[in-house]
Amino acid sequence: MKYTLVIAALLASCNAFAGDYFVGMARATPGEAYFDFPTAEHVRNDNSPAAYIFTGGYNWSDSLGLELGYGHFGTWTGTDPTPGSALHGSLSTRVTYAAATSSMALGEHFSLYGKAGLAGNHESFGAYTRTSVHPMVGFGGSYGLTEHVSARLGFDYFGSTKLGTQQKVSLGLAYKF
The region of weakest confidence among 28-37, 84-93, 136-145 is 28-37
Length of the chain, in residues: 177
- β partners of residue 170: 28, 154
Q: What is the pLDDT of residue 17?
A: 45
Among the listed residues 97, 98, 80, the one whose alpha carbon sits nearest the alpha carbon of residue 89: 80
pTM summary value: 0.81
Q: What is the pLDDT of residues 77-86, one digit of tens each?
A: 888 898 988 8
The region of weakest confidence among 5-19, 38-52, 67-81, 97-111 is 5-19
Q: What is the pLDDT of residues 1-26, one digit of tens each?
A: 455 545 555 444 444 444 589 999 99
Segments of the chain assigned E as strands: 21-28, 34-35, 43-44, 51-59, 64-79, 88-105, 110-125, 128-144, 149-161, 164-176
The mean pLDDT of 27-45, rounded to a whole number, is: 84
Q: What is the pLDDT of residues 107-153, one digit of tens each?
A: 999 999 999 999 999 998 878 889 999 999 999 999 999 999 999 99
Q: What is the pLDDT of residue 25?
A: 97
Specify whether domain 2-176 bears CATH 2.40.160.20: yes
Strands 128-144 and 110-125: antiparallel
More confident residue, 156 or 76: 156
Who's near 143: CB < 8 A, 6+ residues apart?
Answer: 109, 110, 150, 151, 152
At residue 81, the 3 state secondary structure works out as coil
The mean pLDDT of 148-162, rounded to a whole number, is: 93
Calpha distance 158→136 (Å, rounded): 5
Q: What is the pLDDT of residue 19?
A: 56
